[in-house]
């Protein structure tokens, strides 16, 4: 009776290159621009805060593949290749003719897909002589991944953690400390802007915008220190293609191929990394796979946002990019999937959405947790609220197959475990979760506040 | 550079039988006895609270192997086979000639080895018409595993959780609820003994002994309800042999064999399950593997205890068995490895220790957490405080190999993750962990209180 349902590539066959989709769609590359002049930000400015190699990857349209450095592959081997799991227990419970597969990234050291990019980011920075990386973290997923990666690479890690989270989520902080990361509640007295912010006690609890400002300030100020981002940028999605490529290769081994690929979207890195290898097959081999990005209705960037130039952060520190946005001043309702509460989306992913290569859908959180519990009771994994968005659409698509009697193959990225998110499940059990609908008026208001960019600039 | 370091048996090759070591050492089988008469407890009494098949497995000396039912193997396939990992990062950090392998049971749904026995226990009970299982849980590992297993098998699960833990560790409670388990803080008003206990408000916070009493009362009282135990008993160790047998088979595939096998011991199920397949090879094939049981110095049952007849619990509800014990009235100091704070040890494992087939060692908890952090910084896994005991001795043995320049192969059972134990890591980081030494006087006092058993009884 026992069947093969957990599939893993042999370590030595794990991909040795990332897939650079900009080679296939160079027109998807748009710059960050100066909001005053609409001129592209000079690369020299970016080199000040990011590793040169990462900036070069960001704008690379000439290489179809980027070799994964041996040192990075070596650290990947701590948890990669991750398993691809056929959801036989879920399929049975749904009584669907569909085949459901998920890539399980929750086995990584920090519990999500985030280390896939944290490791190369730490690696390239160290190689260029950088001694310390700074970043911000909200709930702590990215900070945990970067702390883990910096420890393995042998470079310092400094995480500014929004003070409200620092106090409410001590376990994530402790995970970062276990990996040797230095965690500072933000705003802090370690930066000029932090000290300034602390003068107003209303700022004491912090925000992601404030934490970004602190992390960037240190990177600007010191030659031996750089800043890192855990999503949104092209090089982040590039590194995450390991997820989709492993999925594609192991499905090839077992003789299957997805009709639909699903993932949740905050900044877009787990979804982007999952779909890019299959997007490439659509573009170059005439495959017809559908791609579905899943968002909370409370923060429906790709579903209800505008394709426009906007700042990357509320504080207007990250220069405008062309992307789907709900407006940088939009504050999403407090849904539990904190990683999906971003006003923008990866410009690369936004381009694909704009061109109709990718669909999107928004969900209420009660449905998401209901399906997450069904997933726990069948497949046995308790997933993060973010990942539960992908679970939900996979279930819904499988139920459609039941109606239409279609034997589709569905694949989704199960991006992380929910061991540090059980409080959200508790609220669901207690019937205390609010279903925040599309906040239409707030978004309309925020969209009035977009920067006026004329790109390409008129000389 | 990337190397194969994660080894997994193909699902279809996963063992289809458990290894019954009582076939090889039938003299290790000793009964539970009536403390008044020293007579063995009649099987009919045990059938009242346990499934008949489990009681029969408990005393089976005639079958070398027990077939794993297909239905059990099917549910095992949710997470088994678990990976065997070569600790290449740890080996490098230690600069040791030793090879270190660990079996990683933290990938199971509830995060430890416990489901390996919870699944068959739920299965046999359901097969015999039982509708509900009861049990007690302290920190929540066993309650989580049984809730998961009962959900998969389709049988009710009722967990009496010590109220102090129920209030302090809500995440474990929520995991049980997610799997559909019913969790009741103990003492409760659901049982006669619970209602009696609640009359004294000093009992309000509960204890494991009180929770056992409540769970057993319901099983005694109702024909459709049975009780379950997550460690100590022969049938529990039998089911856990899947861990050791998978390890043995995958090491055979990669051409290696352990010189030393290590595990932590509370009741003895994770260690017993790991070593039994190798014990069998020592007994039948002349292998010379060493086995090291690891305990806290604060609760050194196998290291400093007495091989004697004693009750299984403080409340004298579980009849006396012949085992290593520190005395049923001994209350161990509050070390963080709650799963290792048991006054007794599996009678089967105790026999092996008594005969010199197994060694044991006790550790201070600061050393244990120091090595756990080293493990996190090298192998990247944050393990449970219990499992960290095994990690520590594996490291220490590897360091001895460095001195002696011996290329030994070390294998340990890494029994669970520490995602719900980060508070213990915090105390370690804050220098607030106490090193509780061997509580000699308390143990001497408790050992005065052993029941007087004359077995076999004089007619």
In the predicted structure, residue A1 carries a pLDDT above the cut 50: no
How confident is residue A2, by pLDDT bands cut at 50, 70 and 90? Answer: very low
What domains can be seen in chain A, in order of their start residue? 6-14+81-111+233-447 (3.40.50.1100), 19-30+46-65+113-227 (3.40.50.1100)
In the predicted structure, residue B2 carries a pLDDT above the cut 60: no
Tell me what the pLDDT averaged over chain B comes to: 95
The per-residue pLDDT for B1 is 35
Distance CA B101, CA B6 (A): 10
In the predicted structure, residue B233 carries a pLDDT above the cut 70: yes
Distance CA A83, CA A86 (A): 10
Decide which of B170 and B391 is more confident. Answer: B391
Pairwise CB contact (< 8 Å): B11 & A2: yes
- Residue B333 — left, alpha, or beta (φ > 0 → left; ψ -120 to 50 → alpha)? beta
Nearest chain B residue to A2 by CA distance is B74
Least confident of A4-18, A35-49, B442-456: A4-18
Q: What's the whole-number mean pLDDT along residues A59-84?
A: 97
Whether A165 contacts A184, CB under 8 Å: no
pLDDT (tens digit, 9 = 90+) per residue, B176-212? 999 999 999 999 999 999 999 999 998 898 888 889 9
Nearest chain A residue to B5 by CA distance is A77
Nearest chain B residue to A420 by CA distance is B419
Least confident of B159-173, B267-281, B359-373, B405-419: B159-173
Disruptive mutation site among B89, B107, B171 for chain A (greatest number of A CBs within 10 Å): B171
* Residues paired with A102 in a beta bridge: A85, A412
SS3 of residue B288 by DSSP: coil
pLDDT (tens digit, 9 = 90+) per residue, A206-221? 888 889 989 999 999 9
If we measure between CA atoms, which residue out of B357, B356, B354, B337 comes closest to residue B345?
Answer: B354
Q: What's the whole-number mean pLDDT along residues B332-343?
A: 89
Out of A4, A174, A381, name the one closest to residue B425 (CB): A174
Q: What's the whole-number mean pLDDT along residues B230-240?
A: 97
Which helix (H) or strand (E) segment holds residue A174: the answer is helix A170-178
CB < 8 Å to A417, chain B = 419
- Give the gap in angstroms from C-alpha A8 to the nearest C-alpha of chain B: 9
In the predicted structure, residue A417 carries a pLDDT above the cut 70: yes
In the predicted structure, residue A3 carries a pLDDT above the cut 80: no
pLDDT (tens digit, 9 = 90+) per residue, B39-58? 999 999 999 999 999 999 99
Distance CA A62, CA A21 (A): 10
Out of A10, A170, A429, name the one closest to residue B177 (CB): A429
The per-residue pLDDT for B315 is 82
Out of A6, A77, A177, name the one closest to residue B3 (CB): A77
Residues in chain A: 459
The per-residue pLDDT for A138 is 83
How confident is residue A288, by pLDDT bands cut at 50, 70 and 90? Answer: very high
Pairwise CB contact (< 8 Å): A11 & B4: yes
C-alpha dist (Å) from residue B305 to B237, B298, B323, B348, B440: 21, 12, 9, 15, 10
The per-residue pLDDT for B215 is 95
CB < 8 Å to A179, chain B = 376-377
Q: What's the whole-number mean pLDDT along residues A102-130?
A: 98
SS3 of residue A391 by DSSP: helix
CB < 8 Å to B78, chain A = 5, 89, 379-380
Out of A4, A178, A382, name the one closest to residue B11 (CB): A4
The per-residue pLDDT for A209 is 84
Pairwise CB contact (< 8 Å): B73 & A1: yes
In the predicted structure, residue B218 carries a pLDDT above the cut 90: yes
The per-residue pLDDT for B35 is 95
Disruptive mutation site among A4, A5, A6, A173 for chain B (greatest number of B CBs within 10 Å): A6
Pairwise CB contact (< 8 Å): B11 & A1: no
Please give the distance of CA A229 from its chain centroid, rounded to a whole number.
10
Distance CA B337, CA B421 (A): 9
In the predicted structure, residue A183 carries a pLDDT above the cut 50: yes
pLDDT (tens digit, 9 = 90+) per residue, A132-168? 999 999 889 999 999 999 999 999 999 999 998 898 8
The per-residue pLDDT for B10 is 76
Decide which of A14 and B426 is more confident. Answer: B426
Q: What's the whole-number mean pLDDT along residues B342-353?
A: 96
% of chain A surpassing 90 pLDDT:
89
Pairwise CB contact (< 8 Å): B178 & A1: no
Pairwise CB contact (< 8 Å): A77 & B5: yes
- Give the gap in angstroms from C-alpha B372 to the nearest C-alpha of chain A: 9
How confident is residue A61, by pLDDT bands cut at 50, 70 and 90? Answer: very high
The per-residue pLDDT for A317 is 84
Distance CA A362, CA A263 (A): 12
Distance CA A439, CA A100 (A): 33
Size of interface A-B (CB pairs under 8 A): 129
Least confident of A26-40, A116-130, A359-373, B329-343: B329-343
% of chain A surpassing 70 pLDDT:
99
Pairwise CB contact (< 8 Å): B422 & A380: no
Taking residue A225's Cβ as centre, other Cβ atoms within 10 Å add up to: 20
CB < 8 Å to B111, chain A = 419
Pairwise CB contact (< 8 Å): A376 & B12: no
Nearest chain A residue to B93 by CA distance is A152
How confident is residue A243, by pLDDT bands cut at 50, 70 and 90? Answer: very high
CB < 8 Å to A5, chain B = 11, 77-78
ipTM over 0.85 threshold = yes
């Amino acid at each position: 009776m026992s069947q093969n349902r957990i599939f893993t590539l042999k370590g030595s066959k794990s991909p040795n290159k990332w897939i650079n989709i900009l080679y296939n769609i160079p027109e998807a590359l748009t710059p960050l621009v100066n909001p005053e002049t609409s001129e592209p930000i000079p690369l020299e400015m970016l080199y000040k805060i990011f590793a040169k190699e990462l900036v070069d990857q960001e704008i690379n349209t000439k290489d179809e593949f980027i070799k994964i450095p041996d040192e990075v592959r070596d650290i990947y081997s701590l948890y990669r290749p991750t398993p691809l799991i056929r959801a036989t227990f879920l399929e049975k419970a749904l009584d669907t003719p569909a085949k459901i597969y998920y890539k399980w990234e929750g086995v990584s050291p920090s519990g999500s897909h985030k280390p896939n990019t944290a490791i190369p980011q730490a690696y390239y920075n160290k190689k260029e002589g950088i001694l310390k990386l700074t970043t911000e973290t909200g709930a702590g997923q990215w900070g945990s991944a970067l702390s883990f990666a910096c420890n393995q690479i042998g470079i310092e890690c400094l995480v500014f953690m929004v003070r409200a989270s620092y106090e409410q989520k001590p376990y994530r902080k402790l995970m970062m400390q276990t990996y040797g990361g230095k965690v500072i509640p933000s705003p802090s007295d370690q930066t000029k802007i932090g000290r300034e912010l602390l003068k107003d006690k209303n700022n004491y609890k912090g925000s992601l915008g404030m934490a970004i400002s602190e992390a960037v300030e240190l990177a600007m100020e010191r030659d031996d220190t750089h800043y890192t981002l855990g999503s949104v940028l092209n090089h982040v999605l590039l590194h995450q293609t390991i997820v989709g490529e492993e999925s594609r290769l192991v499905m090839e081994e077992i003789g299957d191929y997805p009709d639909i690929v699903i993932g949740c979207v905050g900044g877009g890195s787990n979804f982007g990394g999952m779909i890019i290898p299959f997007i490439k097959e659509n573009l170059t081999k005439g495959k017809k796979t559908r791609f579905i990005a899943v968002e909370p209705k409370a923060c429906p960037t790709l579903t209800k946002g505008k394709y426009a130039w906007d700042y990357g952060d509320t504080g207007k520190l990250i220069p405008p990019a062309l992307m789907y946005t709900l407006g940088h001043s939009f504050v999403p309702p407090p849904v539990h999937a904190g990683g999906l509460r971003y006003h923008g989306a990866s410009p690369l992913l936004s381009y694909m959405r704009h061109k109709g290569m990718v669909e999107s859908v928004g969900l209420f959180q009660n449905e998401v947790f209901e399906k997450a519990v069904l997933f726990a009771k069948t497949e046995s994994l308790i997933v993060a609220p973010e990942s539960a968005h992908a679970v939900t659409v996979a279930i819904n698509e499988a139920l459609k197959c039941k109606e239409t009697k279609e034997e589709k193959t569905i694949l989704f990225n199960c991006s992380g475990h929910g061991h540090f998110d059980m409080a959200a499940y508790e609220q669901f059990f207690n019937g205390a979760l609010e279903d925040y609908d599309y906040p239409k008026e707030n978004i309309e208001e925020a969209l009035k506040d977009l920067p006026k960019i004329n790109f390409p600039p008129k000389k």
